[in-house]
Chain A
Amino acid sequence: MATTPLPTRRPAPAHVRPAPASSSNGNKRNGSNDAGNNRSAVRRRRPGFRREQLSGWGMMAPAALLLLAFIFIPAALGFGLAFTNARLISPRPVEFVGADNFVRLFTDPTFYRALLNVAYFAVIVVPVQSGLALLMALLINKKFRGVNFFRTVYFLPVVTSMVVVSLLWLFMYRKEGLINEVLSAISFGLINGPDWLADPNTAMPAIIILSIWQAAGFHMIIWLAGLQSISGELYEAAQLDGTSRWQQFRFVTWPGLFHTRSLVLVTITIQALGLFDQISVMTQGGPMDSTTTIIYEAVQSGYRQQETSYASAISLVFFVLVLIVSAVQRHLTREKD
């Protein structure tokens, strides 16, 4: 650093600037005057260049190193460990075991059950949650008195953590709980609700309902941002043509939400595949594996049974699923563009 003097004035762009007199590189004069051909060479010798490199790398280093240590390395490790017999705490050295973990995984009926459960969850949650979120966004898109109140209220479940939401609904889903009382009240005593979480047929639907309740407000905001990016002129033109509200939605709003739509769908799908918190708090995968999920199985084996290798194999399968979802989304967006 001592070799390059700190410039006290901001130098003009390289190709118009005469070589500074105080340059420590003797050759400078040649390069700086023939503008186009030799720009990179000039830039390299600009006073302060080395200093800029050093401070630049110094400023990027903390974030870059942390991402390396806590994303790149664990990702690579996860890939590698899936083919070993590594345990969380073990005196034995880690050994390569080939595809053993995957063989075990794909012959494990619980794992298939987990895949099935997650698919069931995603198939319901993705359309219903995105649809309700869009409806909520449309309800509060136009300015009216009280719009802020409604936006705040719709968003409240989102700021409530999933763990708290799960606790709360765990209480409400009891046989004599609030949900069944409400059902009974609005049906004048006709509906006698089940013990939601104890019945393998109703446990997953119960979890689906609370998950949608918690997260719809989040995607409402994303839809809202999409709605507000549609030009008002388009609606004015549509009104001049005497279109109905439905036609406006069909021919102006819906096409205008093209990008938002694929984004909302892919984020909800990936979130759905990663289902964990609700299961861990409410059902622990039961009753009879009816609510177990990919991540829940990964945590069970990786943490409870300390089988890091097997858990890494499950995580890898999960990651491949996420990549497939993203790739499908890419493909669908590209096709129509």
Chain B
Amino acid sequence: MKNQLLLKNAGTMLVRLLFAVVAVFPILFMLVSSLKPDQQIFGDMSSLAAFLPVGNISLDNYAAVFDRVPAARFLMNSIGVSAVTVILGIFVNSLCAFALSRMQVRGKRIVFMAILATLIVPFQTLALPLVWWVNQLPYFELNGFSLEFSRGWLDTYQVQIIPFIANAFSIYLFHQYFESIPKELDEAARIDGAGWFKIYRKVVMPLSGPATATVAILTFLPAWNSYLWPLMVVQSEELRPVMIGIQYFFQLNVSWGEVMAYASLITVPVVVLFIAFQRSFINSIASSGVKG
């Protein structure tokens, strides 16, 4: 009986390991190949050496990546765009959720319903009309002392940021969380003479760390990974985010070592963030399960 159970457990463990191997081998292959010259990548492919950093190991591919594409610029663009989207997203969405949860505003129920209704519209439905629409939007630029007016947001930073700040799901998550914070706390603050914004900033937000982390992650991942949108709205090289940079590697001669180096370069930051904030990542995905 006991042996049977032990065998069963060993079997389960074997299945777990099998899944782990399948999940990890392409990533391992990418990281290892990024350190090898092309010749060796192809040479090692038929043996386990494909997954081991052996032979002629160097960072040459990474150096070549920075030669071939403005990788530093792309990285800075993606970091900047994601960071601004996350920060403004946290602020705008939590502020809205605060009013919905805490204040007796007339018409808020209709506003909330309209906000939640946007959840059924996938971004792909909007993307094409949105390209046309952002191209009609006015654009002000301060040039020296004169304010210049032009039309069309194509090929700018703001077109990569502003459409993605407000998000119904973030508002929903903040609202849920705010509802769990006892209202007595802000009543106490009001007795002390705090205004609404102060209650938001000093009472409610400091208690909402987990919700903020969830929203930050759920905003960051699509911002960093965005591909369809910048593909259509960004033309200039100096404004491009990292995912669009892959196009550079298929012009002229393809060096797979360099492709793998670039792929690693834009993946490792996210993986490091994930391992550092693992619990928050898992929670934020789990909370996206209530969406339906």
User: Which residues from chain A sit less than 8 Å from chain B, CB to CB?
Assistant: 8-10, 43, 49, 52-53, 55-57, 59-60, 62-64, 66-67, 70-75, 77-78, 81, 86, 88-89, 136, 139-140, 148, 150-165, 167-169, 171-172, 176-178, 181, 184-185, 213, 217-218, 221-222, 224-226, 260, 262-263, 266-267, 270, 274, 276-277, 280-281, 295, 298-299, 302-303, 308, 311-312, 314-316, 318-319, 322-323, 326, 329
Contacts and interface: CB of A to CB of B under 8 A. Distances in A.
A73 B23 CA distance: 41
B260 interface: yes
B248 interface: no
B57 interface: no
B209 interface: no
A155 B24 contact: no
A59 B162 contact: no
Interface residues of B, number: 89
Given A88-B135, A318-B125, A178 B278 contact: no
Contact of B46 (A56, A63, A148, A185): A185
B225 A157 contact: no
Given A10-B191, A59-B96, A263-B292, A52 B103 contact: yes
A140 B16 contact: yes
The 9 closest A-B pairs by CB, nearest first: A56-B105, A78-B129, A66-B166, A63-B96, A302-B128, A161-B225, A59-B99, A311-B128, A222-B289
Contact of A167 (B92, B166, B263): B263
Contacts of A78: 125-126, 128-129
Contacts of B193: 8
Nearest to B191: A10
A315 B125 contact: yes
Contacts of B98: 59
Given A153-B24, A181-B46, A298 B121 contact: no
A267 B27 contact: no
Given A55-B197, A88-B135, A136 B19 contact: yes
A165 B225 CA distance: 11
Contacts of A221: 282, 285-286, 289
B12 A161 contact: no
Contacts of A49: 104
A265 B263 CA distance: 30
A8 B12 CA distance: 65
Interface stretch (B67-75, B142-150, B264-272): B264-272
26 contacts: A10-B190, A62-B166, A66-B162, A66-B165, A70-B162, A75-B126, A77-B132, A155-B281, A159-B221, A162-B227, A163-B227, A167-B246, A178-B29, A217-B23, A221-B286, A263-B291, A274-B124, A276-B228, A280-B227, A295-B124, A299-B127, A311-B128, A318-B122, A322-B120, A322-B125, A326-B120
B205 interface: no
Contacts of B274: 155-156, 159
Contacts of B135: 88-89
A81 B132 contact: yes
B168 A67 contact: yes
B27 A157 contact: yes
B30 interface: yes
A297 to B, nearest CB: 11
A281 B246 contact: yes
Nearest to B96: A63
Interface in B211-232: 221, 224-225, 227-228, 231-232
A63 B132 contact: no
B267 A161 contact: yes
A170 B110 CA distance: 48
Contact of B129 (A60, A154, A308): A308
Contacts of A326: 120
B16 A150 contact: yes
A69 to B, nearest CB: 8
Nearest to B232: A303
A274 B122 contact: yes
B256 interface: yes
B243 A163 contact: yes
A263 B162 contact: no
B96 A222 contact: no
B42 interface: yes
Interface in B108-141: 108, 111, 114-115, 118, 120-122, 124-133, 135
B288 A222 contact: yes
B256 to A, nearest CB: 6
Given A81-B132, A162-B227, A181-B46, A322 B26 contact: no
A154 B96 contact: no
B104 A218 contact: no
